[in-house]
Amino acid sequence: MRIAFIYVFLILTTMQSWAKSVPATYESMENLMVDIRDPFFDSELRKKYLQLVQTQMQQKIAKEMETTQDQLQKYFIADPTRLNLLWAPGWIELQTEFYTTLHQETFKERWVTKTKEKKVTDYGKNITEAMLFHLKKYSGVKEGLLYNRWNEVSSMKGGKKTTSRIPFFAFTKDVHSLLAMDAHTPYENILAKEKNSTSGNPSLSTFLKGAGEKTREQYQLLAEKIQLNHRIYIRAVANGAKTVASVHYLTGEYTLTQTEAKVSAFIEGFCDGCSRKEKEDYKSSAISYVTKTKKSFNQTYSSGKDVVNSFCTDLRNNLYQFDEPEEKAPTVAGYRDVYIAVQDNTRVDRSHIYAKMQMMKIEAIRKTIQEHDLGVLFLTNALTRLSERREPFATFLGCRPESLARDLVSFSRAITEATHNVEKYITNINQKMKDSTASLKMANETLEYFTQTNVAATAEAMMTFPQGIGHTIDSILELDRDVRRRKRTDSIVAWGGTIIGVALTISGIGAPEGVALLLAVGAMAKGAISGSYYFYRAQQEKEFYKELSKAKVGLGNNFYLGENLQQHYSRYRSLRINYIVDFAGSILSFAQINKIAVIKTSGNVPQAHGLIERCMRVLKASGENVAQGQVVQAIMTAAIP
């Protein structure tokens, strides 16, 4: 107890800087923007924190230019080269996260507005919620897609029109005004430069020649949809490169050098709409992704045998019964002995026992997919037996010494199947891109296809092309209204869109989001109510296992999301947000503080969060040294039973 007291005392001495007024750092503001993209976060609170960061950004740039916030616009108009300041390290990353969060909120606001008086089915809601949820962890900074945005202002000087650019965050003091503003770039400036043009992203001359005689409004609409489709396409290819790298390198099938060659061949062979620089960027991003992801794995796989043994271990731990004979469920008709004798000669319907066994198998497969580092491979037909309804009911893995050779063949087939499906999907969208540059009808159909089959790439594209937000919402609503326009979700779409876009896109995240969104997309096709539920549930469960492994939240084998987990999650997010906002200059991170508090409360996470809340409350209340004694008392009360 004495040692614990001294340890906590030393930590709190370090934490005294919290009580002082410290300016927020670029990094802390970036973290805040990423954190509030959580779809569970209240929309009004998100606006509040967007406003806070916008104000901080204006104050920082005004200080750098030695002026005031009120004079910012004049200063940029007077000297356009000052925009170069915003490409400096720190600034460009912060803007990227700020605009991503701003556009997410814009997307959400406009969706709510457009659907206020419309009846939207679960199909449309699921697509929208999946996009919002994907943006929770998506970061243009991590992807290397740094982004700046400005507003153009025109004025007349000496009878001559001049146009100046003002940083979008500095254009107004009110974030609500930024959310309400429509992005607009004339179609002449949207289209590709002649030297960078491709079949899916034409130059102005090629565009005008192919589109034929149209009004300016028609040209504008077609150009915007072409550009949105192009941006979704290159995100799909970039994510596809990550999948190709992942299934070869993370499984131990190839070395890093061999994987790099495989990714290069994939990009060269399939990326019709990518420039040379984009191809190099995607290859670099894919290799960076797999090297970072491998470090987060529970174990390293150096061969197919390692992967198979690992899958088999997880299946057994999840109570999969390998020894049970595969048999069809008995029925009364044509099945003589439908009952078996158990204790006290009580008769039990064998079909009930069979059904129970099959449910246990399905649950074991589900848990293995969700928890295993490479669980996404279990989504392929090569590893999982599917019913007539295309639902998993058993595994092809025998998981016995005599079945090892067959199991390795099944594993190898899974990798081949995944790679083939990715390539087939990209080939499919290549053709769609070629057909959609001259016809508004075809451009609409291509956008609808992307919206259904590649939720993640569509969401990512909108973040750097806000003109596409309204088009995406219209596409979702059209699909929601007309069932005939929806595409069948098969394994090609799953690997080409869903799995590429979610399970293997975000740094540090593995299979759960992939399988969950696959279930969600399947639920969309069937019109099920709970599609988005699976998505949320899987993401939450993964995060809690990772961040709060010692939490006693009573999950057990309960499939449903309990209120205690929801409340705990909400409390955790709130604490983290408040910490970033109030103590942005602290030398201790929230993760460190949370870890210390959890340790001191013997792994009782709700109690630890109560402890942190009290610490924060006291430290905010007073900057005087007397606060230290109160905080120590609060910690000792909570930490020692």
Taking only the tens place, the pLDDT of each residue in 154-212 is 777 777 878 888 999 999 999 999 999 988 889 998 888 888 788 788 889 988 888 88
Lowest mean pLDDT among 88-92, 235-239, 373-377, 585-589: 585-589
- Confidence band of 20 (pLDDT split at 50, 70, 90): very low
Q: What are the Cα distances from residue 278, in Å, to 497, 510, 570?
A: 20, 25, 39
Residue 539 belongs to some domain of the structure: no
Best-predicted range by mean pLDDT (68-82, 189-203, 312-326): 68-82
Best-predicted range by mean pLDDT (316-330, 440-454, 570-584): 440-454
Lowest mean pLDDT among 264-273, 300-309, 536-545, 564-573: 536-545
Residue 73 belongs to some domain of the structure: yes
Q: What is the pLDDT of residue 585?
A: 66
pLDDT over threshold 90, residue 52:
yes
Q: What is the pLDDT of residue 310?
A: 94
Residue 540 belongs to some domain of the structure: no
Task: Assess whether 159 and 29 both reside in one domain.
Answer: yes
pLDDT over threshold 80, residue 637:
no
Task: Assess whether 81 and 155 both reside in one domain.
Answer: yes
- Confidence band of 336 (pLDDT split at 50, 70, 90): very low
Task: Assess whether 164 and 205 both reside in one domain.
Answer: no
pLDDT over threshold 70, residue 636:
no
Task: Assess whether 469 and 379 both reside in one domain.
Answer: no
Boundary (domain end) residue, out of 355, 386, 412: 412
Residue 535 belongs to some domain of the structure: no
Q: Which residue has the higher pLDDT, 25 or 354?
A: 25
Give the domain extent around 285: 195-299+419-528
Share of the chain above pLDDT 70, in %: 71
Q: Which residue has the higher pLDDT, 368 or 218?
A: 218
Q: Which residue has the higher pLDDT, 254 or 41?
A: 254
Q: What are the Cα distances from residue 75, in Å, to 72, 88, 171?
A: 5, 18, 12
Task: Assess whether 590 and 478 both reside in one domain.
Answer: no
Q: Which residue has the higher pLDDT, 287 or 496?
A: 287
Residue 538 belongs to some domain of the structure: no
Task: Assess whether 34 and 160 both reside in one domain.
Answer: yes
Q: Which residue has the higher pLDDT, 153 or 633?
A: 153
Which tens digits make up the pLDDT trace of 420-434?
888 988 988 888 888
Best-predicted range by mean pLDDT (27-31, 537-541, 616-620): 27-31
Task: Assess whether 90 and 116 both reside in one domain.
Answer: yes
Task: Assess whether 427 and 400 both reside in one domain.
Answer: no
Phi, psi of 150 (to 5 degrees): -140, 170
Boundary (domain end) residue, out of 387, 412, 437: 412
pLDDT average, residue stretch 564-589: 72
Tell me the torsion sign for CA atoms 447, 449, 450, 452.
positive
- Confidence band of 488 (pLDDT split at 50, 70, 90): low
The count of C-alpha atoms lying within 13 angstroms of the C-alpha of 426, restricted to the half-sphere facing its C-beta, is: 26
Q: What is the pLDDT of residue 167?
A: 94
pLDDT average, residue stretch 299-304: 88
Q: DSSP secondary-structure letter at 302?
A: -
Q: What are the Cα distances from residue 119, in Å, to 116, 329, 477?
A: 8, 41, 10
Phi-psi domain of 394 (left: phi exceeds 0; alpha: psi -120 through 50; beta: other): beta
Residue 154 belongs to some domain of the structure: yes
pLDDT over threshold 60, residue 3:
no
Residue 189 belongs to some domain of the structure: no
The CA radius of gyration of the chain, in Å to the nearest whole number, is: 27
Q: What is the pLDDT of residue 46?
A: 93
Using the CB atoms, write b or e for 198-230: b if 16+ within 10 Å: bebbbbbebbbeebeeeeeeebbbbbbbbbbbb
pLDDT average, residue stretch 71-89: 91
Using the CB atoms, write b or e for 82-94: b if 16+ within 10 Å: beeebeeeebebb
Q: What is the pLDDT of residue 551?
A: 32
Residue 507 belongs to some domain of the structure: yes
pLDDT over threshold 50, residue 549:
no
pLDDT average, residue stretch 13-28: 56
- Average pLDDT over the chain, rounded to whole? 76
Q: What is the pLDDT of residue 230?
A: 93
Boundary (domain end) residue, out of 146, 181, 216: 181
Q: What is the pLDDT of residue 1?
A: 37
Q: How far apart (Å, rounded) are the C-alpha atoms in residues 139 and 402?
A: 46
Task: Assess whether 472 and 423 both reside in one domain.
Answer: yes
Q: What is the pLDDT of residue 389?
A: 62
- What are the start-end ranges of the H helices in 372-488? 404-435, 440-453, 455-464, 469-481
Task: Assess whether 288 and 436 both reside in one domain.
Answer: yes
pLDDT over threshold 60, residue 547:
no
pLDDT average, residue stretch 249-266: 94
- Confidence band of 538 (pLDDT split at 50, 70, 90): very low
Q: What is the pLDDT of residue 25?
A: 84
- Confidence band of 357 (pLDDT split at 50, 70, 90): confident
Q: How far apart (Å, rounded) are the C-alpha atoms in residues 512 and 617?
A: 36
Q: Which residue has the higher pLDDT, 167 or 611?
A: 167
CB 462 within 8 A of CB 469: yes
- Confidence band of 390 (pLDDT split at 50, 70, 90): low
Q: What is the pLDDT of residue 99?
A: 97
Q: What is the pLDDT of residue 87?
A: 93
Number of domains within the chain: 4
Best-predicted range by mean pLDDT (153-167, 353-367, 438-452): 438-452
pLDDT over threshold 90, residue 598:
no
Task: Assess whether 520 and 462 both reside in one domain.
Answer: yes
Which tens digits make up the pLDDT trace of 398-426?
999 999 999 999 999 999 988 888 898 89
Task: Assess whether 431 and 519 both reside in one domain.
Answer: yes
Q: Find, among 308, 294, 493, 322, the residue nearest to 412 by Cα.
A: 308
